């Protein structure tokens, strides 16, 4: 019959396994750092999708053969990969030396600093032009081969029009979340190559691998290929879109999402429950929802106000549709119209039909992590 001593002995065995795991992680970390050095020397991209996919598939099969949950093995491997990508950021390959020197207008802001740091890691000469350097703007921009505009949307036109003339071969880039209007201004002010980028991430990322950057063609797109190549070396996923298509997509992906979160956050703040009370009795999925709402309010109110205001006129028809959908659902609820609610559910489900299984699997993994991270008093 088992006793406490048997339990203690088994726990010692677990401790020994954990110690070996830590040693293996340290060894793996050392190997991935060396791989990062080789990638920097050879110019190979940080992310190798085919290698990653084959590695995961092979380890999942090994897990099944040994009676280990393959989902657990994949979770561990993906976490180790994320750590490896982060460790490989210290020094990066330079794939387009012809773009140096680079000037980042608004380089003291969070996104400007993020790009400046990454360019410096790749060996580029980076100059910063912000409010503190305005008196030296002409000198800072002299000979620049790439000028990146990293300023709030509502200030972009004024700032770009105030720039001294750029060299004809200088690539002018903006990284705002709206593309049509900024690209129009950039092309009007500068007669040389122009491209619009929209990094689909914020300044708090731990690494650039798998981060999406939308690319909108401006003028002389071939000149921008060096910059796009550099983004790919960093591991970014590039999505090329027409500027109009981009802005239409962002009206749903960003503006409507931010607006919904903004309104819901205000609604919560007016309720008679503290956040601690809501969190104490919430499911993992609601914990995640609270995290995403809280994430918005942890960031710049100016940034999110600018994003929503910049496209308000364009998004007004979508807001009207959203209100109509909400009102229609409310009407069904008030009438106790279960059939109508089921029909509405089926209609929406049809839209998601091709991805529901994939989303269910992904969300389950996220929910498990949210539950694992729960802090108990």
pLDDT in the model for residue 1: 65
**Who has greater pLDDT, 343 or 308?**
343
How confident is residue 374, by pLDDT bands cut at 50, 70 and 90? Answer: low
Given a cut of 60, is residue 375 above it in pLDDT? no
Q: How many CB atoms lie within 10 A of CB 63?
A: 18
Contact present, 113 and 139 (Cβ < 8 Å): no
Contact present, 126 and 101 (Cβ < 8 Å): yes
How confident is residue 342, by pLDDT bands cut at 50, 70 and 90? Answer: very high
Given a cut of 60, is residue 265 above it in pLDDT? yes
| Across 212-239, average pLDDT | 96
Q: 131-189: per-residue pLDDT in tens?
A: 889 889 999 999 999 999 999 988 999 999 999 999 999 999 999 999 999 999 999 99
pLDDT in the model for residue 113: 96
Q: Report how far apart, in Å, the C-alpha atoms of 24 and of each of 281, 288, 311, 338 are.
A: 39, 32, 51, 56
Given a cut of 80, is residue 373 above it in pLDDT? no
Per-position DSSP letters for 332-345, written without gaps between them: HHHHT-HHHHHHHH
Q: What is the pTM of this model?
A: 0.80
354 φ, ψ (degrees, to nearest 5): -70, -15
Q: 3-51: per-residue pLDDT in tens?
A: 778 888 999 999 999 999 999 999 998 998 888 888 888 888 888 888 9
Residue 176 DSSP symbol: -
Q: How far is residue 192's CA from residue 174's CA, in Å, rounded to a whole number?
A: 14
Contacts (Cβ under 8 Å, ≥6 apart) of 334: none
Burial of 268-290, coded b for 16+ CB within 10 Å and e otherwise, reads eeeeeeeeeeeeeeeebeebbeb
Burial of 83-108, coded b for 16+ CB within 10 Å and e otherwise, reads bbbeebbeebbbbbeebbbbbbbbbe
The three-state DSSP-derived secondary structure of 260-282 is HHHHHHHHHHCCCCCHHHHHHCC
Helices (H), 142-298: 153-161, 180-189, 225-233, 243-250, 257-269, 275-280, 284-297
pLDDT in the model for residue 377: 46
- Considering only 188-197, 332-341, 364-373, which range has the smallest mean pLDDT? 364-373
Q: 91-143: per-residue pLDDT in tens?
A: 888 999 999 999 999 999 999 999 999 999 999 999 999 988 988 999 999 99
Is the backbone peptide bond immediately before 48 cis, with ω within 30 degrees of 0?
Answer: no
Mean pLDDT of the chain: 90
Given a cut of 60, is residue 338 above it in pLDDT? yes
Contacts (Cβ under 8 Å, ≥6 apart) of 80: 25, 28
């Amino acid at each position: 019959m088992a006793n406490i001593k048997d339990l203690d002995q088994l726990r010692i065995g677990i401790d020994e396994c954990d110690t070996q795991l830590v040693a293996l992680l340290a060894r793996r970390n050392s190997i991935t750092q060396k791989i990062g050095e080789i990638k920097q020397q050879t110019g190979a991209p940080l992310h190798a999708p085919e290698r990653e996919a084959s590695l995961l598939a092979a380890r999942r099969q090994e897990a099944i053969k040994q009676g280990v949950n393959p989902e657990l093995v994949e979770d561990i491997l993906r976490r180790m990969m994320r750590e490896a990508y982060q460790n490989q950021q210290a020094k990066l390959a330079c794939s387009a030396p012809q773009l140096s020197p680079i000037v980042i207008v608004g380089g003291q802001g969070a996104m400007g600093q993020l790009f400046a740091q990454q360019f410096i890691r790749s060996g580029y000469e980076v100059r910063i032009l912000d409010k503190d350097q305005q008196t030296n703007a002409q000198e800072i921009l002299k000979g620049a081969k790439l000028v990146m505009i990293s300023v709030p949307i509502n200030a972009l036109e004024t700032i770009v029009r105030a720039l001294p003339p750029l060299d004809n071969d200088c690539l002018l880039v903006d990284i705002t979340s709206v593309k049509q209007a900024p690209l129009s201004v950039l092309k009007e002010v500068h007669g040389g190559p122009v491209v619009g980028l929209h990094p689909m991430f914020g300044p708090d990322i731990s690494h650039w691998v798998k981060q999406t950057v939308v690319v909108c063609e401006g003028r002389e797109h071939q000149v921008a290929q060096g910059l796009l190549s550099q983004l790919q070396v960093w591991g970014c996923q590039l999505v090329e879109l027409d500027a109009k298509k981009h802005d239409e997509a962002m009206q749903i992906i960003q503006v409507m999402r931010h607006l919904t979160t903004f309104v819901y956050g205000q609604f919560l703040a007016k309720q008679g429950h503290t956040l601690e009370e809501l969190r104490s009795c919430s499911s993992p999925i609601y914990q995640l929802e609270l995290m995403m709402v809280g994430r918005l309010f942890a960031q710049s109110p100016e940034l999110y106000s600018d994003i929503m205001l910049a496209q308000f006129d364009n998004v007004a028809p979508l807001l009207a549709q959203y209100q109509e959908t909400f009102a229609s659902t409310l009407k069904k609820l008030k009438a106790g119209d279960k059939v109508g609610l089921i029909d509405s559910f089926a209609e929406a489900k049809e839209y998601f039909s091709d991805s529901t299984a994939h989303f269910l699997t992904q969300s389950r993994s996220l929910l498990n992590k949210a539950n694992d991270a729960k802090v108990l008093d």
